Structure 1
């Protein structure tokens, strides 16, 4: 018998579904999280659920928040199920379902962030965590620096009473807490950005520079922005996942989360007003977050980008199917081994080649059902963070960039909007229009794509990269993806 998920139905769920070992009224909110998506509910919320199940730190429950239409949809989905989420870990042959109860509320999602600002008047909320995507930090993609001319920043600098961007919301809330004599909350970024704590500080303080220099000084001197590295492959939820949950476990969940068994969280221990004891449930606290972060961004996220575009051009839908394709898998193995891993600095206690082996096994997990379209989306924000830094490092070292230039050429070819067989598809990117225009122009003049200087920056000026990119793109248009990949694997350009 199928049970609709809510607090009342928990005792009636199948014994195969683990449920919280604590009552909701035992929890008190200590964290407000902005950007309640699948990743957050498969990651931070699961770690907290583990902690609460162990009888620890039940004053660190979550309140959800958001400012986008997607946040409103998530709130509408979770409210009738009392903010509970079913998480299914997709270990081949042994899928495991659990209900997490770490979230105890969700701030109403309005046209601006005033409701979030008001909620943060509560001194019990000592941490604000963020998963607002790589593109949500108002930075210049080519330089990685804060962009004071970003539309969200310009708007919020002039409308601090009704901010619409996440950093305007944070700054308005911090200003109110300062003015009321309350301790500032800690801002904890959980997004895949190098030095994400510093990037978050730059965004909040950079906005404050436009509003009030004294407030900017307060942010820089009094507010903590710990860096973190987070990792768990979490595909988008579709009717396929809802049906599997209903048929296999008898649970009707409006928005369940399916994810791989692996998870990792590495944090800088910089929480002046306190934090939950997450080290007791597997979180690593270390001053070396940047090393773990760089390793993950280059090897895992860079690996995702490496397989996304050839697989997409070949019409492959699932990531595990891409990993089963000898040419796509061969491209990934060779690029990681020859060009990406050699420019990743050492990480304490980690063998980088073993780490890559783990990543490859995770990508190949057939039960996860992760998709190539998910990996291929938002390339204009992801390429400058996951691929081009490796290219830039190798150019500075005087090392070859044949494979990295081919990856960039594959992205360019993908941005043209058709597969190798000529089937059109929709490019999922906030800059889709100008990317497609540039990619189509590059069919005749390959280096014209490199004129997207806000993306490529100084990499576009390197003669070696330009020539490798031009040769690869010409090969892709003339000979197709498979022949081009085979030429690369055979040692050709």
Structure 2
């Protein structure tokens, strides 16, 4: 098998973007869109300079610098795999304490966008309030030492301070992370951090810096031996960090780029004032769907997502919960048939080539459940609809956090708050309501007697009868 290489002259590219967080998703998503755009002969002044602010990012830098910043991206189409070398990134900054190289790069006048993939949990949000938390230790440290920040947001504030002092136009800050209102969330973090050391600068950022909201989507499994073997089959066995991904990708953006932007609409990016509608559809249906199939699969010792989708109980559970308790409360989306969108989600989850794992979907439920599942519960309750299926999703998460599958197999820690969750799950075995004491997860939903009763019944049955039996009962309408 062969692989495609950039059809444009990379030596003629000049940078316009600094991107912080060079994980698999960025390299299979934003970098691919830019690679496609450059291949059209467009926007060659928008190449990426990569950056990282965490010590582990240094290993990624070493790997990519050794191959001239090229990324191997393998699309896992059931009809046949294809590989390409993506050349949109032309440099990767040193990863260093104090982030001086990053700050200097973002101060360069040709840098007009700073983009981020720092994970959904990387925005320093207080779980209780859902707002930026200036009291968190890393933020307090950056506020006290703004000249040598440790966080991405501290580095952005330092660079904006330097640009303002030099009379330069600020860059646009663009989150590419999968969280609701990612532009608003990013603005809150940057302005909130700036306020700790320089309230006047914070006001200037709030008034002058653009933070467009965006919705991003592409399934990109973690890289391991299987993915490296795939790269080797294409003659790229010397790449230690290849990326695999599904064929599907989507990017929806607000067109709010005062300093300019690449012509991404020419390669399929949707620019719209209605990002929130696309975002809600994706978070509720896709991310909520992932949570729905994750925990029953994990408890039934199923390793891969496509194997879970091949199990009639799990696929049936997904279909019933989505069509009866999630999709009815998703508002209309411009030029989109929501039922057809869900059918596409089922097809994507069922792709055997992706080999995404149930364990990855089960990761970090304490961060994902309040974003992807609880809002659907809240809307269903407000509309007087059923929440039996969503309560069962939540009960399955609780049962999973006990740390043992239905067969007795040990489940290794799979959440940043695993110890606390495991303790609550143990207590909830005797009293299911203990689990709902997590106000940061459930909020006022935990006070609704309809949800409490449905959760109590679901968890009790899971312990008594096991996952498969409870799913079968639910599908028969007896659950």
Superposed pair shares fold, TM > 0.5: yes
How many Å separate the matches in 2 of 1:181 and 1:252?
45
2:17 to 5, 13, 31: 31
Q: How much has 1:438 moved relative to structure 2?
A: 1.0
Runs of 4+ in 1 over 4 A off after TM superposition: 248-251
Q: How does 1:349-364 map to 2 (within 5 A)?
A: 349-364=335-350
Q: How does 1:237-248 map to 2 (within 5 A)?
A: 237-248=223-234
Q: Distance in 2 between matches of 1:140 and 1:463?
A: 27
Q: 1:81-135, CA deviations, whole angstroms, 9 ceiling, x for partnerless residues?
A: 1110111111113211111110111111123433311221111111011111110
Aligned positions of 1:39-438 closer than 5 A: 39-249=25-235, 251-438=237-424
Indicate conservation of the 8 Å contact 2:3/2:234, yes or no.
no
Q: TM-score, length-normalised on structure 1?
A: 0.95
User: In structure 2, how many angstroms separate the alpha carbons of the residues matched to 1:37 and 1:166?
Assistant: 15
Structure 2 residue 444 is the aligned partner of structure 1 residue 458: yes
Contact 1:142–1:384 (8 Å) recurs in 2? no
Aligned residues: 479
Q: 8 Å contact 2:398–2:425 — kept in the other structure?
A: yes
* Aligned counterparts of 1:327 and 1:151: Cα–Cα separation in 2: 45
The answer on whether the counterparts of 1:142 and 1:456 sit within 8 Å (CA) in structure 2 is: no
TM-score, L = length of structure 2: 0.98
Q: Which residue of 2 aligns with 1:9?
A: none
Q: SS where residue 352 of structure 2 aligns?
A: coil
Contact 2:123-2:185 within 8 A present in 1 as well: yes
Counterpart-to-counterpart distance in 1, 2:317 and 2:340: 18
Asked whether the equivalents of residues 380 and 455 of structure 1 are also in contact (C-alpha less than 8 Å), the reply is: yes
Q: How far apart are 1:149 and its partner, in Å? A: 2.0
1: distance between equivalents of 2:55 and 2:446? Answer: 36
> 1:4 matched to which residue of 2?
none
* RMSD of aligned alpha carbons: 1.3
Displacement after TM superposition at 1:234 (Å): 0.6
Residue aligning to 1:8? none
Shift of 1:399: 1.9
Residue 229 of structure 2 contacts residue 237 of structure 2 at CA under 8 Å; is this kept in 1?
A: no
Looking at structure 2, the residues matched to 295 and 197 of structure 1 have their Cα atoms a distance apart, in angstroms, of 17
Q: Secondary structure at the match of 2:251?
A: strand
**8 A contact 1:141–1:384 mirrored in 2:** no
Which ranges of structure 2 fall in alignment gaps of 5 or more residues?
Answer: none
